[in-house]
Amino acid sequence: MAIKTRGINHPALLARNLEETVRFYTELLGMRLVLRQPNLDDPSSTHLFFDTGNGNFLAFFAPNEGTHDIPRPGSMLHVALNLTVPIEEAMETLTAHGVRFAGPIDRGYERSLYFRDPNGIVIELMTWKTPLPEGADEGDVIVKAQEIRLAEGAYAIEDGHVAKALQQLDIPR
């Protein structure tokens, strides 16, 4: 059985400079910065998430001030696809096809699987821990969850922040 996905969530790109990247995508291209938090895999860099519209995002990993440059700026780290099936079903399918993967990896409010396609491209299959109701704007939910995270002084967005965001945005679950 094939794994079902619902569009590209984001390509994850490597940035040369954090503040230049934020200015370019917010001021020049008018994108909304919906997430700015430590990179959960490398605390010497920051994870940026820009809302490009219609549930699509651009992700960047940028070096923090005073840290080393990220190798190969402008390169793609991975492409993330939204799952429409439970992550366990995707794991079973990958295993049945002999595809080695890492995960599921807890990303706070998401769970992810990582593997390479035949070309060596890293694919992330992701799902929200708390599924968003049909029609909910992912960008609005992430912005609100980010506000809650910052107000609580949390390191990264967690599932509880998403639940509070849905409640505050009056989005029925």
> Would 159 be classed as within a structural domain?
no
Whole-number average pLDDT of the chain: 89
User: Which residues lie closer than 8 Å to 93 by C-beta, 6 or more apart?
Assistant: 1, 2, 3
Give me the pLDDT at residue 119, please.
Answer: 64
> Would 45 be classed as within a structural domain?
yes
Tokens describing residue 59: 């992700």
pLDDT in tens, 52-109: 888 889 999 898 887 766 667 667 778 888 888 899 999 999 999 899 999 999 999 9
Task: Record the pTM.
Answer: 0.77
> Would 148 be classed as within a structural domain?
no
44-64 per-residue burial string, b: 16 or more CB within 10 A, e: under 16 = ebbbbbbbeeebbbbbbbbbe
Look up the domain containing 86 and give its range: 5-132
Q: Residue 58 belongs to a domain with what CATH number?
A: 3.10.180.10
- Number of structural domains, the chain? 1
> Would 168 be classed as within a structural domain?
no
Give me the pLDDT at residue 70, please.
Answer: 63
> Would 21 be classed as within a structural domain?
yes
**Whats the size of the chain, residue-wise?**
173
Please report the sign of the dihedral spanned by the C-alpha atoms of residue 7, residue 87, residue 10, residue 30: positive
Q: Which residue has the higher pLDDT, 133 or 120?
A: 133
> Would 171 be classed as within a structural domain?
no
Give me the pLDDT at residue 31, please.
Answer: 85
